Structure 1
Amino acid sequence: MSNLLEVKSLHSLYGESHVLHGVSFSLDPGQALSLMGRNGMGKTTTLKSILGLVTPRSGTVSFKGENITDLATWQRIKRDIAYVPEGRGMFHNLTVDEHLQVAARANNQGENVWDYDRVLDTFPRLKERLSNLGTQLSGGEQQMLAIGRALVTNPELLILDEATEGLAPLIRKEIWDVIRTIKDSGISTIIVDKNIQVLQGLCDRHVVLVKGKVVMNLDAEQLQSNFAEVEGYLGV
């Protein structure tokens, strides 16, 4: 099976600050990958380097066999990649309905499995708040809307940064259930989150970053065998 995504030897900097030091990993179609590490270890920079929001000094990003390293962010997104950013990225002047309608489209294969109606069926709370501005929602509802807005683009790869950060336990459980449904529907995912127990049961691969370097790259079985060591890197 060929890789859906291959990240190879990424070096990314903010000014003179060298953040990523040769980050490499790959993701196969339909897989879920967790990107773990303490705060400030380069997780978000890795995601932004994949998306073109940060330009790597060196290294490559390939998607479905195509080198996309030099493409603009919008060109990468048009290749059926979707992003749920940390902070959720609500548009201040758009309602819930408008957030979903403006993003909705079939993917490059003409598939529209995650259409507007399916997203609202998946997140019934949003159906009750269609006329509310995105910024008027609770944190949990904003996360639902951010995920829903990504899903209506029918992506092949969904990237979630801090998937359940700051959410109440019941909302976190609801979000995790939806992410499992997303994975079961065949969408590949990269997930940044601190809940190693949930990630262990959900993801096929696990990448641990320390100071911008990959120190562990494990499959699910290897994570189970090295669980204590991974916890040590995360400071759990």
Structure 2
Amino acid sequence: MTKLLDVKGLHTYYGESHILHGVNFDIQPGQAVSLMGRNGMGKTTTLKSILGLVPPRSGHVLFQGEEITGLPTWQRMRKDIAYVPEGRGMFHNLTVKEHLEMAARANQKGEQHWTCERVLETFPRLQERLTNLGTQLSGGEQQMLAIGRALVTNPELLILDEATEGLAPLIRKEIWDVIRTIKSSGISTLIVDKNIQVLKELCDQHIVLVKGQVVFSAGSSQLMESLDEVESYLGV
């Protein structure tokens, strides 16, 4: 089976600062993969390297077997990759409805399983806020909108950076429930988050970064066997 995403030997810099040191991992179709590490260990840089927002100086990114390392970000996203950034990325002049309608499209196969209507059914709060600007929403509602905006692009891979950061417990639970629904629908996910207790149950594979290097890469059963080691990397 062709790997959905294959990351090979990424070395990424900010100026002369060497951030990623040969990062390797892959995602199979339908898998949920966690990317964990303390702050400043290279998680967001890894995501931005995959997306072309911070191009690596060396290494390769393949999506569905195709080399995309040299492509601009917009072309990568058109290959059915969606990104929910840390900070949510609301447009200050667009309403909730406009955020969804602006992003909505079929995937490369011509399929449109996630419509604006389905997103609003999944997040009833957004239905109540359709005419509000995205920046007028609460933090939890903004995260729902950011996820919904990504889903209406009908991606094969959904990348979530700190999906539950700073949210109230009940909202976090709601977001995790939606991510489970996304996984069950067949969309692959790459999730950056700190909640190891949820991630160990939700995700199929786990990657841990320390100073820009992969120090742990295994499935959930191995994660449980090495939980003390992994928690030491995370500072839990």
What TM-score comes out, normalization by structure 2 length?
Answer: 1.00
Deviates more, 1:220-229 or 1:191-200: 220-229
1:222 maps to: 222
SS in 1 for 2:215: strand
2:39 maps to: 39
Q: CA-atom RMSD, angstroms?
A: 0.4
What letter is aligned with 2:78? Answer: K
C-alpha displacement of 1:30: 0.1
**CA shift digits 1:166-186 (9 cap, x unpaired):** 000000000000000000000
SS in 1 for 2:21: strand
2:155 maps to: 155
1:169 maps to: 169
2:138 maps to: 138
C-alpha displacement of 1:224: 1.1
2:126 maps to: 126
1:205 maps to: 205
What letter is aligned with 2:110? Answer: G
2:15 equivalent to 1:15? yes
2:181 maps to: 181
C-alpha displacement of 1:191: 0.1
* Equivalent-residue separation in structure 2 for 1:17 and 1:189 (angstroms): 29
* Equivalent-residue separation in structure 2 for 1:6 and 1:222 (angstroms): 21
What letter is aligned with 1:222? Answer: Q
* Equivalent-residue separation in structure 1 for 2:177 and 2:224 (angstroms): 21
* Equivalent-residue separation in structure 1 for 2:100 and 2:225 (angstroms): 42
C-alpha displacement of 1:85: 0.1
What letter is aligned with 1:56? Answer: P
Structure 2: which 5+ runs fail to align?
Answer: none
* Equivalent-residue separation in structure 1 for 2:102 and 2:226 (angstroms): 44
Q: Percent identity?
A: 77
Deviates more, 1:29-38 or 1:215-224: 215-224
* Equivalent-residue separation in structure 1 for 2:111 and 2:100 (angstroms): 17
C-alpha displacement of 1:228: 1.0
What letter is aligned with 2:203? Answer: C
What TM-score comes out, normalization by structure 1 length?
Answer: 1.00
C-alpha displacement of 1:2: 1.9
SS in 2 for 1:131: coil
What letter is aligned with 1:3? Answer: K
Matched length: 236
C-alpha displacement of 1:214: 0.2
* Equivalent-residue separation in structure 1 for 2:220 and 2:113 (angstroms): 28
1:2 maps to: 2
SS in 2 for 1:3: coil
2:82 maps to: 82
C-alpha displacement of 1:121: 0.1
SS in 2 for 1:189: strand
1:193 maps to: 193
**CA shift digits 1:42-97 (9 cap, x unpaired):** 00000000000001010000000000000000000000000000000000000000
1:26 maps to: 26
* Equivalent-residue separation in structure 2 for 1:43 and 1:11 (angstroms): 13
**CA shift digits 1:89-118 (9 cap, x unpaired):** 000000000000000011001111111100
What letter is aligned with 1:96? Answer: V
SS in 2 for 1:105: coil
1:233 maps to: 233
* Equivalent-residue separation in structure 1 for 2:169 and 2:230 (angstroms): 23
Give structure 1 regions of 4+ aligned residues with deviation exceeding 4 angstroms.
none
* Equivalent-residue separation in structure 1 for 2:122 and 2:221 (angstroms): 31
**CA shift digits 1:207-234 (9 cap, x unpaired):** 0000000000011111111111110100
